């Protein structure tokens, strides 16, 4: 089965969607969409540096994403610029810097479109191992830290007062996000990772009554989007990454038509 590039693509997409659902729910709850986008954009710089130092791109992307997040946290603490200005500055600088660096390396030929929009049809068996191994680690950490992370999302003050150390969980969350970006970049590309974080989670919002339900529905919605998107991509010969995002938009539109989960009769 793994021989077929299409089967590998489906497995890779499903693996990524299972992680982006719960992680993306936190991104939505904490209003960190642009933050996630900034970390994803910095991945280009990570790839360029990895090529330069001849290390694995996954490690380069992960490291740079963490560094960008730390720089952001530092600049935010100085407090002279608003968060969205800082994010815009870092996001596009990292992207541009990465593209310039890549062009300066004459011996390196790089699939720029693949970097930006993903190349899910080129997924190898090794990539699958990375996705499922890394994804399992991210999900396990998320499950382990679920309660303190959720408490910190509702109120950092409550979490702090009641001994749940929100600062540490925020840091871990950032590392998990960097890890996801590193493993998902090849599938979705730096421009579309945020879409799979945000869209399935917002689609799940209307159906969910608890945070846990929303995370689960977001994962399922993401899987549905991957299956539908890949099918459409094969059928209509459209680019696979964007097709998956369009399918996710379809899922969102469908759930928007349903009544709000929260308004239902209390159980």
Partner 1 sequence: MENSKPSLRDEIVRVAGAGVHRDGRWLVRGVDMSIARGEIVTLIGPNGSGKSTTVKIALGIVPADEGEVWRARGLRVGYVPQKVAMDRSLPMTVSRLLALTGRRSRSEIAATLASVGIAHLAGAQIHSLSGGEFQRALIARAIIGRPDLLVLDEPVQGVDFSGEVALYDLIGRIRDDTGCGVLLISHDLHVVMARTDTVICLNGHVCCSGTPEAVSLTSEYAALFGPRGAETLAIYRHDHDHAHLPDGTVRDAAGRLHFDHHAHGPHCGHEHGEKHQDA
For residues 101 to 120, the per-residue mask of contacts with partner 1, x marking binding by CB under 8 A and - elsewhere, is: --------------------
- Per-position x/- string for 154-193, each x denoting binding to partner 1 as judged by CB under 8 A, each - no binding: xx-xxxxxxxx-----------------------------
The answer to whether 42 contacts partner 1 (rule: CB under 8 A) is: no
Which of the stretches 13-21, 48-56, 148-156, 241-249 binds partner 1 when contact is defined by CB under 8 A?
148-156
Q: Which two tokens stand for residue 74?
A: 């530092």
Residue 194 in contact with partner 1, rule: CB under 8 A: no
Per CB under 8 A, the segment of 34-42, 43-51, 135-143, 256-264 that binds partner 1 is 256-264
Q: Which stretch binds partner 1 (CB under 8 A): 145-153, 184-192, 229-237, 249-257?
A: 145-153
Of 50, 190, 168, whose CA–CA distance to 114 is shortest? 190
245 SS3 class:
helix
Structure tokens at 16: 């990524």
Residue 81 C-beta: closest distance to partner 1, Å: 16
Sign of CA dihedral 179, 55, 91, 16: negative
Secondary structure element (H or E) that encloses residue 51, with its range: helix 33-52
Among 4, 54, 80, 267, binds partner 1 (CB under 8 A): 267
Q: From the CB of 122, what's the least distance to partner 1, in Å?
A: 35
- Please identify which residue in 147, 253, 256, 258 interacts with partner 1, judged by CB under 8 A: 147
Write down the residue that tokens 């539908």 correspond to. 228
Of 24-32, 100-108, 133-141, 178-186, which segment contacts partner 1 by CB under 8 A? 24-32
Q: How far is the CB of 146 from partner 1 (least distance, A)?
A: 11
CB closer to partner 1 out of 28 and 102 = 28
Contact 15, 136 (CB under 8 A): no
Stretch that binds partner 1, among 54-62, 96-104, 208-216, 245-253 (CB under 8 A): 208-216
Q: Please report how close the Cβ of residue 264 comes to partner 1 at its closest, in angstroms.
A: 9
* Position among 82, 103, 124, 210 found at the interface with partner 1 (CB under 8 A): 210
| Helix/strand/coil percent split, the chain, to 5 | 80, 0, 20
**Which is nearest to 62 in space by CA: 174, 142, 182?**
182
Sequence-distant contacts of 2-9: CB under 8 A, at least 24 apart: 2/125, 2/128, 5/121, 5/122, 5/123, 6/121, 6/230, 6/234, 8/123, 8/124, 8/125, 8/127, 8/128, 9/120, 9/121, 9/123, 9/230, 9/240
Return d(Cα 46, Cα 128) in angstroms, integer: 21
Q: What residues make contact with partner 1 under the rule CB under 8 A?
A: 28-31, 147, 150-151, 153-155, 157-164, 201-202, 205, 208-211, 213-214, 261-263, 266-267
């Amino acid at each position: 089965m793994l021989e077929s590039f299409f089967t590998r693509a489906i497995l890779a997409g499903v693996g990524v969607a299972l992680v982006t659902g719960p992680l993306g729910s936190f991104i939505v709850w904490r209003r960190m969409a642009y933050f996630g986008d900034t970390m994803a954009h910095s991945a280009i710089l990570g790839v360029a540096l990895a090529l330069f130092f001849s290390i694995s791109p996954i490690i380069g992307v992960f490291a740079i994403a963490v560094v960008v997040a730390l720089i952001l946290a530092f600049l935010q603490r100085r407090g002279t610029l608003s968060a969205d200005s800082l994010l815009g500055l870092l996001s596009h600088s990292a992207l541009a810097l990465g593209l310039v660096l890549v062009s300066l390396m004459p011996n390196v030929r790089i699939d720029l479109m693949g970097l930006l929009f993903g190349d899910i049809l080129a997924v190898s068996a090794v990539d699958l191992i990375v996705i499922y191994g890394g994804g399992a680690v991210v999900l396990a950490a998320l499950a382990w830290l679920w309660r303190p992370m959720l408490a910190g999302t509702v109120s950092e003050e409550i979490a702090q007062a009641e001994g749940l150390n929100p600062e540490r969980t925020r840091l871990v969350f950032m590392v998990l996000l960097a890890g996801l970006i590193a493993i998902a970049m090849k599938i979705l590309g730096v421009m579309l990772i945020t879409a799979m974080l945000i869209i399935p989670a917002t689609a799940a919002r209307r159906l969910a009554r608890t945070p846990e339900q929303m995370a689960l529905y977001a994962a399922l919605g993401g899987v549905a989007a991957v299956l539908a998107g890949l099918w459409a991509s094969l059928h209509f010969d459209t680019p696979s990454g964007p097709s998956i995002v369009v399918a996710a938009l379809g899922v969102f539109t469908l759930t928007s038509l349903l009544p709000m989960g929260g308004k239902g009769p209390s159980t």
